[in-house]
Amino acid sequence: MKIYLLTTLLAVLGVTAAQAADAEGFVPLFNGRDLAGWVNANCAPETWSVREGVIHCTGRPTGALRTTRHYENFILEVEWRHLSRSGNSGVFIWGTPIAAPGVPFLRGVEVQVLDHGYAEDFEKQNGKKSDWFTTHGDVFPIHGATMKPFGRHNGQRSFPSEDRSKGTPEWNHYRIVCDKGVLRLSVNGKEVSGGEECNYRKGYLALESEGAPVEFRNIRIKELPSSNTPANLTAPEDNGLRTIFTGVDLRGWKTNAATARRWSSRGERISLLAGEVNSDATLWSEKDYGDAEFVFDCRPAKPAEGKPLPTPTIVVRGMEVKLADATAGNYQRYSVTVKENEIVVKRGDKEAQRLTLPAGSKTHAPFGLQDSGAAMELMNLYSREL
- The secondary structure element, H or E, covering residue 124 is helix 116-126
Domain range annotation of the chain: 2-240, 253-385
Q: Which CATH class is domain 2-240?
A: mainly beta
Q: Are strands 350-356 and 204-209 parallel, antiparallel or unpaired?
A: unpaired
| pLDDT higher than threshold 70 for residue 271 | yes
Residue 277's pLDDT band, with cuts at 50, 70 and 90, is confident
Taking the model in full, what pTM does it have?
A: 0.91
In order of 76, 84, 99, 288, 324, the CA distances from 385 in angstroms are 33, 40, 19, 10, 25
Side-chain-side CA neighbours of 354 within 13 Å: the count stands at: 6
Closest Cα to residue 262, out of 240, 237, 283? 283
Residue 67 contacts by C-beta under 8 Å, 6 or more apart in sequence?
29, 37, 38, 39, 204, 205, 206
d(CA 83, CA 178): 28
Phi, psi at residue 250, to the nearest 5°? -100, 30
Domains 2-240 and 253-385 in one fold: yes
**Considering only 16-30, 75-89, 124-138, 179-193, which range has the smallest mean pLDDT?**
16-30
Supply the CATH classification number for the domain 253-385. 2.60.120.560
Sign of CA dihedral 144, 150, 154, 155: positive
pLDDT digits (tens, 9 = 90+) for 143-178: 999 999 999 999 999 999 999 999 999 999 999 999
Q: Taking residues 10-32, what's their average pLDDT?
A: 72
Q: End-to-end distance of the chain based on CA atoms, in angstroms?
A: 6
